Amino acid sequence: MKTRRHFLQLVKREFSLFLKNATLRSVFILAPVIYALLFAFVYKEGKVTHLPVIVVDKDNSPMSNQVIEMLRDNEGLAIKKVAYESTDLKKELIRQNASALVLIPERFEADMLQKKYPEIVTYINTSNLLTANFSSKAIQSTLGTFSAGVEIKSLQRKGMPASQAATQYEPFKANYIRLYNETGNYFTFMWPAMLAVILQQVILLAMAVSFAQEFEKHTFAKAFLGHTRTTFGAILVKVMPVWILSIAHVALFYIFHKIFRAPLPQHIFNFAVISSLFVMSVSFLGTLLSILIPDSLRATQVLMVISTPGFIIGGFTWPSASMPLAIRYLADILPLTPFLQAFRILLIQGGELGDTMPYILHLLCLVVIFAVLSIIALRLKVRKELKKHPSAPEPQQQATA
């Protein structure tokens, strides 16, 4: 009973320290809400539309005008300028901030009618690969439709029925069936992952100062050790406020998913399992470094250096198979890597908990490893502190330590 009372007193003290720290309050409580809403509005449209395109029509014929009208009707494109003479194409792309330039050659209509197969050249601005891919796909689709229409009409003029003309132009059909994110919605793909990145960042920021500030203020031995009987209990005291507030964040993110009509996991329990393991592994990682680096500023800097590239090297947006082995090993240390893979299966692909078992085991391993290393590091730190403050009571060590 006495042990429980001491534990609750320490948790209350930890909440008080947490809430008195203005930086932690703003970062941990406000930042996730602000960033979640910010990214939601950025990606809300879900797909890129109205990309600026330049058309240079050197033919200026009814057929070239038809090409321009079809490009204008494509919702992914927005014709910013139509010119009738060649200029410095690269400079024009820069001046108009365009994603592509379509060049229709001279005698385009005449060559089409004479079956000389003229060539429409498209210059893609690949300085931004995302807009380049979208604009290239939209232009290819439009020009392909135009080309098919011209060929079918040509066969019809020769007396061939429309149904037969279509089969002559397209001797076989190819069907492409999209699964999971059928519309290619970028919001569905990116926003949930960004929420996980935000949560990892704020947890690490909070845990970076957990033990470090005790060492800096010299309160670890006097105000902390005397009230906890185990090193693992001391760690639990430090992570408890973060765990409780993280539950609130996850619940808030779930509400945001409903507000912005983002996909939701089919089974809340499955989502809760991987989210809990993620929060635990991240908090224990932050605890470990906070114990090893007794300076809160340095601990924060080191954790940010470790976690910042996590989203890039985690294999969520770029396949990990294309990365060097050393990078993959580094990514496997970060809890964000297995969490995002499991999250994608549950959220986007609608999988079951069993489908995520390799990633659950990965997270469990990280939880155990970081927790055990934290216990060992704290135990060594306790011995060091007791030498400085012999009157401070020594916490009992658990068998697992």
Number of domains in the chain: 2
| Containing structural domain, residue 60 | 51-169
The residue with greater pLDDT, 68 or 268, is 68
Does residue 362 form part of some domain?
yes
- The residue from 138, 169, 200 where one domain ends is 169
Q: How confident is the model at residue 91, as a pLDDT?
A: 83
Same domain, yes or no, for 336 and 367? yes
Residue 395 pLDDT > 60: no
User: What stretch of H or E contains 100?
Assistant: strand 100-104
Please check whether residue 396 lies inside any domain of the structure: no
Exposed e or buried b per residue across 12-34, where buried means at least 16 C-beta atoms within 10 angstroms of its C-beta: eebeebbeebeebeebbbeebee
Same domain, 162 and 219: no
pTM, two decimals, is: 0.75
**Rounded distance between C-alpha atoms, residue 277 and residue 345, angstroms:** 16
Shared domain for 57 and 40, answered yes or no, is no
The 10s digit of each residue's pLDDT in 285-336 is 988 988 888 777 787 778 777 777 888 888 888 888 788 888 889 899 999 9
- Which pLDDT value is given to residue 182? 74
Q: What is the mean pLDDT of residues 170-191?
A: 69
- Cα–Cα distance for residue pair 335/333, rounded to 1 Å: 6
pLDDT of residue 398 exceeding 60, the answer is no
Residue pLDDT, tens place only, 10-39: 667 766 766 666 666 666 777 778 878 877
Looking at residue 400, its pLDDT comes to 39
